[in-house]
Amino acid sequence: MAIEVFNRYENKYLLDDAAYRLFFNDLLAYMELDDYNKKHEFYSITNLYFDTKHDSLIRNSLAKPKYKEKLRLRAYGIPNEETKVYLEIKKKVFGLVNKRRTALKLQEAYAFVRTGIAPEFRAYMNKQVLEEIGYLLQRYDLQPKVYMAYERKALFSRESRDLRITFDTNIRSRRYALNMEQGDFGEPLIEDGRWLMEVKAEKTIPLWLSKLLSEHGLYRTSFSKYGNEYKKIMKSTHTERESVLYA
């Protein structure tokens, strides 16, 4: 049965190419590459975020409440109708991230969100997570809103698999052609040569990592991919309205 449940703290950092290379090389003394990254430099992650007609979920998230939640569909690479993908509920409560996901075929996931009716249960699904997603769909009238893709490199601590660090680059998004099978194209979300690093740990980070972050002058930042995409769109829309108003 395909299920992944995470409870962890996530801290984010923005790095340029030079900072990424230096920090990544130092991490290799303590961490090892994800099994896929041992054979491939990156793996491609594609996401489809769902929200209400008036963007209630992301607007609530940007208000930084003590509790927030989102629903997204995740695939590795470009899926087709029969590809196994992951429909995920991601919640954040007092800084602790809880992620629950279940595998579905792409068309099953589309139909579930569109109708609110769970697909016929299969061995690769998780019944509990399906029920939780069904409850979420009863509370919100959700629709596809944003497609997001990026390349990722991931490492795990040699001491404990509870510590994971990921590096995402070439982050791109679009608000059109929202079927995931159409391709992973989109507009850049951050500047070329920038990396989003995420430190994911179930407990506090080890002392060696704290010292390494300090030595490299790396400090936490607040960066949500979906949140920054929404702010970028709102800024662009506001600028266009001003242009029309003062034309």
Measuring CA to CA, which residue among 18, 8, 5, 73 is closest to residue 218? 18
Query: What is the predicted pLDDT for the residue at 230?
Result: 97
Indicate the angle between helix axes 127-139 and 106-115, nearest 10 degrees.
Answer: 40
φ, ψ dihedrals at 141, nearest 5°? -90, 95
Query: What is the predicted pLDDT for the residue at 66?
Result: 92
Tokens of 80: 């087709």
d(CA 175, CA 168): 20
Q: What pLDDT band is residue 159 in, cutting at 50, 70 and 90?
A: confident
Among the residue ranges 14-23, 136-145, 205-214, 235-244, the one predicted with the least confidence is 235-244
**Which residues, 6+ apart, have CB-to-CB distance to 105 below 8 Å?**
81, 82, 83, 84, 85
Measuring CA to CA, which residue among 26, 25, 43 is closest to residue 34? 43
Q: Please say if the pLDDT value at position 201 is more than 90.
A: yes
Tokens of 78: 């470009």
Among the residue ranges 1-10, 90-99, 203-212, the one predicted with the least confidence is 1-10
Q: Please say if the pLDDT value at position 17 is more than 90.
A: yes
d(CA 133, CA 198): 26
d(CA 184, CA 148): 8
Average of per-residue pLDDT values in the chain: 93
Which contacts of 188-192 are long-range, i.e. CB under 8 A and separated by 24 or more positions? 189/148, 189/225, 189/228, 189/229, 189/232, 190/14, 190/228
Report, in angstroms and rounded to the nearest whole number, the Rg of the chain calculated over CA atoms.
19
For residue range 167-195, list pLDDT tens digits in order. Answer: 999 999 999 999 999 999 999 999 999 99
Compute how many other C-beta atoms are within 10 angstroms of the C-beta atom of residue 98: 14
Query: What is the predicted pLDDT for the residue at 18?
Result: 97
d(CA 60, CA 67): 9
Q: What pLDDT band is residue 244 in, cutting at 50, 70 and 90?
A: very low
Pick the CATH number of 3-245 from 3.20.100.30, 3.80.10.10, 2.30.110.10, 1.25.40.10: 3.20.100.30
